[in-house]
Amino acid sequence: MTANIISPEVRPPEAAEHDGPGSWPSLHGAMTHRDAEQVLGCAELAAGLDEGDWVEPWYGVVIPAARVHDQLTRAAAALLRAGPHAVLSGATAAAMHGCDSAAGGVVHVTIPYDRELRSQPDLVIHQAWVRECDVVELDGLRTQALDVAICELLCTGEQRPALDCLEQALAQLGDTAERFRALVAERLARRRDRRGTRQAAALLQLAWSRPRGELVGGAR
């Protein structure tokens, strides 16, 4: 996946694709309920949901049942549910960058403080200051930059998976691994929310920076 900085208003053309029983633009198969009604018609969408062809994982968004376990589809649906300026964060963002040791069925999304949205089953909502310079595009989805995601994961995640994700990141970065470690340390030092930063700093020091290729699937 190739990352590049984008503004919140920009949706790249490749983010739209055609999925499901018909042919229409969607974000990795995910659509808002309103868009699906406009494309399919209210009756057809209702029938599709009743018959199991479509699934509403969270209120207001629908995905084809065939893609209910697809990570990109679920991530896209989570962003549609969370609304503008939301960003994939923590373990979900780390997995988008290829560090999947902490990945699971739960999608983590961060929204700005001026938005209100409760967590739902398999969708964890965080609130924080969202700076656009810390947001990158991966597969057309707004995602925290790797250092931001790792910093959050070290502070808020379970220690073992968080450490494994950090070591995956360091392994992928090769010669720039120690520069990345220093960048994460700087973020920890400047983090406004101090909860978990002591644990995070300890894990950051503990992490083993191993040569590229030695780490396979997070195995230790």
- Tens of pLDDT, residues 112-129: 999 999 999 999 999 998
Using DSSP, state whether 207 is helix, strand or coil: coil
How far apart (Å, rounded) are the C-alpha atoms in residues 122 and 59?
Answer: 12
Decide if 207 contacts 215 (C-beta within 8 A).
Answer: no
Determine the distance from the C-alpha atom of residue 35 to the mean position of all C-alpha atoms in its chain, rounded to a whole number.
23
How far apart (Å, rounded) are the C-alpha atoms in residues 65 and 48?
Answer: 10
Burial call 162-189: b when 16+ CB within 10 Å, e when fewer: bbbbbbbbbbbbeeebeebbebbbebbe
Torsion sign, CA atoms 180, 72, 92, 216: negative
Dihedral of the alpha carbons of 211, 216, 217, 219, in degrees to the nearest 10: -80
Helix axes of 159-173 and 146-156: crossing angle, nearest 10 degrees: 160
- Mean pLDDT (the chain) is 85
Which has the higher per-residue pLDDT, 123 or 19?
A: 123
| Element spanning 31, H or E | strand 31-32
Give the pLDDT band of residue 24 (cuts 50, 70, 90): low
Q: Is 44's pLDDT higher than 70?
A: yes
